[in-house]
Structure 1
């Protein structure tokens, strides 16, 4: 699971000052329970109306049943830095960490 990869690399992201946020379609109570069960150290937001998911391309409409597995890397001011579409669960967290290391360790 992609979220677990981010969980396992959380300290590495934190050392770079990178904040991880997961987003899903679940109801807040279910999403919160699931995040606790998975032992995520980062926030998991609910997007039941699909607004955030539509904006970033993870959903086509408010009727989408499931979000696409994508990753968006944003700067602190909200500027889109990198996009990862059709992510591979096994490699995406490491790929994003490598890119974050190149971007943020130079600052």
Structure 2
């Protein structure tokens, strides 16, 4: 990504747009919050805890999050085979950063009363 600044190029920061898009997608924060609270969860356990998510959406989001190292997928060799998903250190860092941004938006956003004054 090119830096739009003419003189102060040192102020520009490079970042991974793939991960940036992922952390702003629907259900990413929700999944991170669930895995941080409950620890390792199976696919159907995550499905049951999120209103409105489809199997396809959850499957896609989990795959994207695993590829981006936000979560870990672990296969337990039991009969039947169990697959658990858990949050990684990187996932916890992203979750905490998103929560801080959300708290900041709550601090600086005008109340309805102030907005219409």
TM-score (norm 1): 0.32
- Structure exhibiting the larger radius of gyration computed from Cα positions: 2
Bigger fraction of residues in helix: 2
Higher relative contact order (CA 8 A, sep 6+): 1
TM-score (norm 2): 0.30
